[in-house]
Structure 1
Amino acid sequence: MIQSIRSLAAGLAVMLTLAAPAAAQDARNPRSVVTAHVTQLQDGPVAYQAVVAETMVRSEDGRASGTVVTTSYIRTNVAPAGRPVLFIFNGGPGASTTPLHFGAFGPMRRFGEGDHQYLAMNPHSLLDAADLVFIDPVGTGYSRPHDDGAPFWTRTGDARSVADVIRQWLARHERTDSPRYLLGQSYGTLRAAEIMRVAPDLEFDGVLLFALVPGERSGPLAHVSSLPSYAAAAWHHGRAARDGRTVEQVYEDAVVFARTDYIAALIQGAALPDAERGAMAGRLSAMTGLPAALIAENDLRITNTLFMFNLLADQGLRTGQLDARATARLDAPAQRPPYDDPGMNYGPEAVARPADPEETVFRPEDGVSVVDAYYADVLDFRADDTYQALNLEVNSAWDHEGFIDAIPHLAEAMARDPDLRVFWSAGYYDLSTPAYGGRYTLDQAGIPADRLTAAYFASGHSVFIEDTNLEALADAVRDFMAE
Structure 2
Amino acid sequence: MAQAPDTTGGPELYPDTVITTEHTVEVDGETIRYTADAGYLPLRAEDGTVQAKMFYVAYRKAGTDQEDRPITFAFNGGPGSSSVWLHLGALGPRRVPVVSDSTNVLSPPYELVDNGQTWLDFTDLVFIDPVTTGYSRSTSAVDEDRFHGFEGDIESVSRFIRLYTTRNDRWSSPKFLAGESYGTVRAAGLASALQDRHGMYLNGIVLVSAVLNYQANAFDRGNDLVYPLFLPTYAATAHYHGALPADQQGRDLRTFLDEVEQWATTDYTVALMQGDALPDAERERVIDRLHQYTGLSREFIDDANLRVVDRHFYKELLRDEGQTVGRLDSRFTAQDRLDVGAGPEFDPSYVAILGPYTATLNSYVRGELGFETDLPYEILTGRVWPWNYETFENQYLDVAEPLRQAIHKNPALRVHVASGYYDVATPYFATDYVLDHMGLGAKYRDNVSVSYYESGHMMYVHMPSLRQFTDNVETFYRDATD
Please give the residue correspondences for 1:205-354 in structure 2 after superposition, counting only pairs within 5 Å: 205-215=203-213, 216-217=215-216, 218=220, 219-240=223-244, 241-242=247-248, 244-331=250-337, 340-346=346-352
Residues 235 and 202 of structure 1: is their aligned pair in 2 closer, same or farther, counting only changes over 3 Å? same
Indicate yes or no: 2:194 matched with 1:199: yes
Deviation at 1:193, TM superposition (A): 1.2
Check conservation: 2:72, 2:125, Cα contact below 8 A. yes
Provide the C-alpha distance between the structure 2 equivalents of 1:203 and 1:120, rounded to a whole number of angstroms.
35
Question: Alpha-carbon deviations, 1:260-309, whole Å to 9, x = none?
Answer: 11101111111110011011100111111111122122221111022111
TM-score under structure 2 normalisation? 0.87
Which secondary structure state, in structure 2, belongs to the residue aligned with residue 309 of structure 1?
helix
Which secondary structure state, in structure 2, belongs to the residue aligned with residue 325 of structure 1?
coil
Could you say which residue in structure 2 is the equivalent of 1:177? 172
Which secondary structure state, in structure 1, belongs to the residue aligned with residue 189 of structure 2?
helix
Provide the C-alpha distance between the structure 1 equivalents of 2:446 and 2:293, rounded to a whole number of angstroms.
32
Residues 339 and 90 of structure 1: is their aligned pair in 2 closer, same or farther, counting only changes over 3 Å? farther
Point out the more displaced range, 119-128 or 292-301: 292-301
Which secondary structure state, in structure 1, belongs to the residue aligned with residue 19 of structure 2?
strand
Structure with bigger helix share is 2
Question: Alpha-carbon deviations, 1:27-73, whole Å to 9, x = none?
Answer: 57411111111111124100011011311125899963211011000
Check conservation: 2:459, 2:465, Cα contact below 8 A. yes
Please give the residue correspondences for 1:89-238 in structure 2 after superposition, counting only pairs within 5 Å: 89-111=75-97, 113=106, 115-147=108-140, 148-200=143-195, 201-215=199-213, 216-217=215-216, 218=220, 219-238=223-242
Indicate yes or no: 2:41 matched with 1:55: yes
Check conservation: 2:319, 2:339, Cα contact below 8 A. no
Counterpart residue type for residue 473 of structure 1: F
Indicate yes or no: 2:373 matched with 1:380: no
Counterpart residue type for residue 471 of structure 2: D
Please give the residue correspondences for 1:468-479 in structure 2 after superposition, counting only pairs within 5 Å: 468-479=464-475
Deviation at 1:190, TM superposition (A): 0.3
Check conservation: 1:214, 1:433, Cα contact below 8 A. no
> Which residues of structure 2 form unaligned runs of 5+?
98-104
Could you say which residue in structure 1 is the equivalent of 2:438? 445
Counterpart residue type for residue 207 of structure 2: L
Which secondary structure state, in structure 1, belongs to the residue aligned with residue 153 of structure 2?
helix
Could you say which residue in structure 1 is the equivalent of 2:456? 460
Which secondary structure state, in structure 2, belongs to the residue aligned with residue 191 of structure 1?
helix
Which secondary structure state, in structure 2, belongs to the residue aligned with residue 116 of structure 1?
coil
Provide the C-alpha distance between the structure 2 equivalents of 1:78 and 1:45, rounded to a whole number of angstroms.
14
RMSD: 2.5
Check conservation: 1:59, 1:157, Cα contact below 8 A. no
> Which residues of structure 1 form unaligned runs of 5+?
1-17, 348-362
Indicate yes or no: 2:22 matched with 1:33: no
Indicate yes or no: 2:47 matched with 1:81: no
Which secondary structure state, in structure 2, belongs to the residue aligned with residue 164 of structure 1?
helix
Deviation at 1:197, TM superposition (A): 3.4
Question: Alpha-carbon deviations, 1:204-230, whole Å to 9, x = none?
Answer: 101111011152235221101101101
Provide the C-alpha distance between the structure 1 equivalents of 2:62 and 2:250, rounded to a whole number of angstroms.
50
Indicate yes or no: 2:425 matched with 1:421: no
Which secondary structure state, in structure 1, belongs to the residue aligned with residue 459 of structure 2?
coil
Which secondary structure state, in structure 1, belongs to the residue aligned with residue 274 of structure 2?
helix
Residues 206 and 338 of structure 1: is their aligned pair in 2 closer, same or farther, counting only changes over 3 Å? farther
Counterpart residue type for residue 131 of structure 1: D
Provide the C-alpha distance between the structure 2 equivalents of 1:282 and 1:214, rounded to a whole number of angstroms.
32
Aligned residues: 444
Residues 482 and 27 of structure 1: is their aligned pair in 2 closer, same or farther, counting only changes over 3 Å? farther
Counterpart residue type for residue 250 of structure 1: F
Point out the more displaced range, 56-65 or 290-299: 56-65
Residues 438 and 56 of structure 1: is their aligned pair in 2 closer, same or farther, counting only changes over 3 Å? same
Which secondary structure state, in structure 1, belongs to the residue aligned with residue 472 of structure 2?
helix
Question: Alpha-carbon deviations, 1:118-171, whole Å to 9, x = none?
Answer: 112111111110001000111111111113310100111011111111111111
Provide the C-alpha distance between the structure 2 equivalents of 1:93 and 1:245, rounded to a whole number of angstroms.
38
Which secondary structure state, in structure 2, belongs to the residue aligned with residue 343 of structure 1?
helix
Deviation at 1:24, TM superposition (A): 7.0
Question: Alpha-carbon deviations, 1:404-445, whole Å to 9, x = none?
Answer: 211211111001011111100111111110100011111112
Identity over aligned residues, as a percent? 34
